Homo-oligomer: A and B are copies of this chain.
Amino acid sequence: MKKSLGPITIIFPAPVMIVGTYDEKGSPNACAASWGGICSSRPPCLAVSLRKATWTFRNIIQRRAFTVSLPPRKRVAEADFFGMVSGRDLDKFTACGLTPEPARTVDAPIVAEFPLIIECRLRHSIVLGLHTQFIGEIVDVCCEEDCLNAQGLPEVGKIDPIAYVPTVRSYYAAGEVLGPGHSLGQVFIPDRGATG
């Protein structure tokens, strides 16, 4: 039996995106956001929703660029911190001992200690209400070389990433691998035999 919980904002899982931007003086900032993710394959785009009150909102409007650095499990406290205070009041990088480094392809900083980085150029801003959704075209993705697998792709076990579950407000590690996409479901595809 299902129970109605009303219009709450819950999903499993949400990403923990550390959004890097520069302000008008060139000072780096980073904030944590979980409303968003990949939203388009061609062009490759990533969406992140932010409240107008945030310093990052202002920076993205001004610089039209941002990065998303994905924190590893050992940096979950730093990631949480990036979502607790405003860059208007504090140099968050210094406060938590992480290093801002210029992105290679866009006008925004990355978190140097984090293994996987998505560099975006702003394409659309869509006002949804309390949040505005920024859609950035992915210009490049960078990954620590020792986190790549034999195919040259990021390996989840080496990145050791985290997920967030809103409403219940908890961080989770990645669990076990359940299997490959576009493959596990094969068992349900009807056998059409020779009739095509």
Contacts and interface: CB of A to CB of B under 8 A. Distances in A.
Interface of A: 1-15, 17, 34-47, 49, 68, 70, 73, 76-85, 90, 95-96, 104, 116-118, 124, 126, 128-131, 133, 135, 137-145, 148-149, 152-156, 159, 161-190
B189 A131 contact: no
A128 B188 contact: no
Nearest to A131: B40
A19 to B, nearest CB: 13
A13 B163 contact: yes
Given A4-B140, A77-B184, A144-B1, A44 B9 contact: yes
Contacts of A40: 9, 35, 49, 128-131, 133
Given A34-B38, A81-B185, 20 more contacts: A7-B138, A9-B138, A13-B15, A13-B174, A35-B38, A36-B37, A40-B49, A42-B131, A43-B129, A45-B129, A78-B188, A81-B187, A82-B185, A84-B186, A90-B190, A96-B188, A128-B135, A154-B167, A156-B168, A171-B184
